[in-house]
Amino acid sequence: MAKHELLTLQNVGKATLKDLELLDITSIQQLAKADPDELFHRLGIIKGSTQNPCNWDVFAAIIHEAKTGEKTPWWEWSKVRGNKFEKHKK
C-alpha cells in the first residue's frame, strides 16, 4: 500500500489525514488552494463540535507547506492565529 501523499507533509499524521479526508482534501494540490479559516469552520460543522484552535494552526502550517514547500512547526502558526477564536469564548 502506497503512502498517502498528504502524509509527506511535516504536520500531517493519521488524525489530520482523517480530518482532511472529511473535508474532501485528497491531494497537496487541493490543499495549496485551501484556506485555514474555511477548513477550520467546515470541520466544526462536519464534526458537530467546536474544534481546538490548534487545528487551525495545523491547517495553516500544512497549507503553507503545500504552497511554498517550506516546512514549519504547526505551533509557530499560533502567533499568526492570535486570539482569532477568543471572541467565541465567554
Domain locations in the chain?
5-83
Check residue 70 and give left, alpha or beta (phi > 0: left; psi -120 to 50: alpha).
beta
User: CA 13, 33, 67, 1 torsion: positive or negative?
Assistant: positive
pTM surpassing 0.95?
Answer: no
pLDDT band at 83 (very low <50, low <70, confident <90, very high): confident
For residue range 24-76, list pLDDT tens digits in order.
999 999 999 999 999 999 999 999 999 999 999 999 999 999 999 999 999 99
Q: Please say if the pLDDT value at position 2 is more than 60.
A: no
Residue 36: count other Cβ atoms within 10 Å of its Cβ.
21
CA 31 to CA 87: how far, in whole Å?
Answer: 27
